[in-house]
């Protein structure tokens, strides 16, 4: 493996590790602090979009959207880590397996920190990761098309 590839792999692994640390760090927060953070985001969203929805439902939706978004970012970064060097089904399976393991451990952490743990949350997290993988595949496909067109165009 060339030095440049090793450096990119280390950077990719570090980004994945930072996202996982962020996700698990949020899961370690007590429920009251987690709810305060969700309510803060909710107040911002309500001021921007003038949402007319009851507070409990809106807070629940904000928390679920945050989970989906965190795991979408994890899916993109895991896909970049595993698929940037070698394309193939096995690399995609490895990326998604990592995301699933992170989601299962995330819910286990929430159990340990006296917060609710639900199978539905693992499914939501995994769906976010799958969306991230699809986003990565779509963007990398577009970049490949643009590179080919640029290389084929006369100078």
pTM to 2 decimals? 0.86
Instruction: Give per-residue pLDDT as tens, 8-61.
Output: 888 989 999 999 999 999 888 887 888 888 888 888 888 888 777 788 888 888
Domain that holds residue 47: 3-152
- Counted domains in the chain: 1
Instruction: Give per-residue pLDDT as tens, 67-121.
Output: 999 999 999 999 999 987 777 889 999 999 999 999 999 999 888 877 777 889 9
Length of the chain: 155
CA atoms within 13 A on the CB side of 105: 11
């Amino acid at each position: 493996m060339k030095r440049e590839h090793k450096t990119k792999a280390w950077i990719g692994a570090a980004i994945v590790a930072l996202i996982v640390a962020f996700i698990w760090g949020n899961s370690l927060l007590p429920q009251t602090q987690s709810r305060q953070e969700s309510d803060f985001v909710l107040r911002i969203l309500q001021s921007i979009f003038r949402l007319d929805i009851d507070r409990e439902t809106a807070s629940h939706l904000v928390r679920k959207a945050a989970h989906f978004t965190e795991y979408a970012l994890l899916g993109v970064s895991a896909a970049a880590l595993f698929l940037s060097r070698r394309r193939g089904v096995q690399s995609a399976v490895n990326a998604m397996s990592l995301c699933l393991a992170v989601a299962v451990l995330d819910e286990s952490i929430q159990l340990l920190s006296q917060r609710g743990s639900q199978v539905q949350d693992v499914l939501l997290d995994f769906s976010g990761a799958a969306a991230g993988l699809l986003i990565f595949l779509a963007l990398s496909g577009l970049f490949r098309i643009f590179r080919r067109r640029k290389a084929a165009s006369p100078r």
